[in-house]
Amino acid sequence: MLKFKSQTAALISDAVAAAFPAAALQTEEINAMLEYPPDASMGDLALPCFKLSRTLRSSPVKIADTLAESLSSPLFSEVSAVNGYLNFRMNGAAFASRVLADIGADGDLYGSPKCGEGKTVVLDYSSPNVAKPFHIGHLGTTVIGHSLKLLHEFAGYKCIGINHLGDWGTQFGKLIVAYRLWGSKDEVEAGEIDALVALYVRFHAEAEKDASLNDRARAEFAKLEAHDEENIALWRWFVEISLREYKKTYAQLAIEFDSYNGESFYTDKMPAQIARIREKNLLTIDDGASVVNLEEWNMPPCLILKRDGSTLYPTRDIAAAVYRKENYDFAKCIYVTSAGQSLHFAQWFKVLELMGDEWAKDLVHVPYGTVSINGEKLATRTGNVVLLKDLFAQAIEKARAITEEKNPALKGREDIAEAVGVGAIVFHYLSNNRMRDINFVLEDALSFEGNTGPYAQYTYARSCSILEKANGEASFDVAPESTNEDELALTKVLALFPERVAAAIEEYEPSIITRYALDLCAAFNRFYHNCQILSAEDPKVRAYRLALVKAANQVLGRALSLICMKKPEKI
């Protein structure tokens, strides 16, 4: 629709210049004013002339009437003026030919804004805390972050995916104490991350009764920071066990990272940045701690060093950002974390700016809402979590049972069950605007009915089946003589894909693609049920409808891939 809008805007601009010579409007200005009517019966595109009234010194009704009389083009089957709106109804056959030609010409790149050539984007996402379970609370940063990476890659950017592991901090002192008091090597090797989590949970339960355990934990972490060999060896072991577990989940999501450099990687890179902050005379002492005063920007002080001289998250994040700029020279560095960390990012972004790093403007925090389970807050230390591996296993088992019931002869059932089961969870999460708080109800996430991931995957598989039966006959090189309502409706949704991709990238909002996929599925399934395709008697009609199926298959497949979904060709 982008081309149709821009061509319509150009025609309106010429008509305005002819009818109202005292006022000229640029095509870009008019393009921004064009709207899609809420009801298709009103037309395919509309210009609310209220927005032109002051510039053209005339009433909206008169403007609409005047322009409607002078506008004509093969693009339109009808141009009408209704109560100050200029409504356009497209020539269906001409429009369909153009859309299918564009999809055929662009191939797999149809819909790409192609704005990232020669630019690098760094994306920091997922980033679980080592020795803690990969649970439903991590799903947001993981799938939102990876979808944004896929979207930027589709736009032509070189993307660097970084898993900034939480692999440093007092929690390791707690784990070391717990392991020495209640653990054993054999038990941890057998239980892996579940055994580490059990030790962590037990530590907090015991510390409620014996507060001295917290002092012991701080002492053990201090030894870790001082590179005590025994503690370093335990820490590396905990990290190795955790990564083995995390990578199993990443494999199910088809996610790979370019870097697993976590917080520990930047410990030797912080002193240089602290020195720079001092050189800029930004540090002040507040109750013994070293801070950057941000009162002028309506923010609390940003803590750089604790009273004992140890560093904090902002110190590590500043060092990490500088390292990434020096090594990747990014156009954007995107951080996908919960909305609860918004102040933290605003603070250290501002500190970098005050340090004189003009590229601080290229740092982007992408927040998302909280996740609760049946209304209760997630908490590893109390065990109130739903592990992603358990959630995925339940969804896969449900998909397996349905597949075996409906299609017992299907080859590759195990891979398909995993694609559908995991896809159901991912699609359920990415159906929501990222800022919306989610109360995760297991039954809803595992539902395969209605507007769900399995429905979208099944629609894709249906299009694959039709094309397989057509045996390579489908081609975009068609010129339909006419279009019916269902054909045109599908074509219009296909034409919207480039706009939806551009909006998803601009707004850092994968749910725009998820909702688009559902719109495309709905339009395709109406078309499928109401129009004969392979059995169409007229060869030209058959060719046109097969072209629509091929286009829907290509675009829906791309949309699903942009939201971390696998695309089984048979279900």
The phi, psi pair for 171, rounded to 5°, reads -60, -25
- Write down how long the chain is: 571
How far is 499 from 488, CA to CA, in rounded Å?
Answer: 18
| Percent composition of the chain: helix, strand, coil (DSSP 3-state, to 5) | 60, 10, 30
Position 445: which residue type? A
Contact predicate 142/161, CB 8 Å: no
Tokens of 296: 């002028």
DSSP per-residue codes, 342-393: HHHHHHHHHHHHHTT-GGGGGEEEEEE--EEETTEE-BGGGTB--BHHHHHH
Give the CA-trace dihedral at 490, 496, 501, 505, to 10 degrees: -140
Rounded to a whole number of angstroms, the distance between the first and last alpha carbons of the chain is 32
Contact predicate 270/316, CB 8 Å: yes
Report, in angstroms and rounded to the nearest whole number, the Rg of the chain calculated over CA atoms. 28
How far is 142 from 126, CA to CA, in rounded Å?
Answer: 4
Quick one: which of 450, 452, 451 has its CA closest to 422? 452
**Helices H, strands E: what count in the chain?**
22, 13
H/E element, 147: helix 139-154
Please list the active-site residues: 132, 135, 138
**C-alpha 304, offset from chain centre:** 31
Residue 471 CB-half CA count within 13 A: 1
Tokens of 159: 């993307």
Show the 3-state SS of 428-496. HHHCCCCCCCEEECHHHHCCCCCCCHHHHHHHHHHHHHHHHHHCCCCCCCCCCCCCCHHHHHHHHHHHC
How far is 273 from 282, CA to CA, in rounded Å?
Answer: 12
- Beta-carbon contacts of 153 under 8 Å, excluding residues fewer than 6 positions away, are 159
Quick one: which of 446, 436, 460, 434 has its CA closest to 551? 460
Q: How buried is residue 503: exposed, middle or buried, by Cβ count under 10 Å (0-12/13-18/19+)?
A: middle
Strands 85-90 and 45-48: antiparallel
How far is 459 from 234, CA to CA, in rounded Å?
Answer: 50
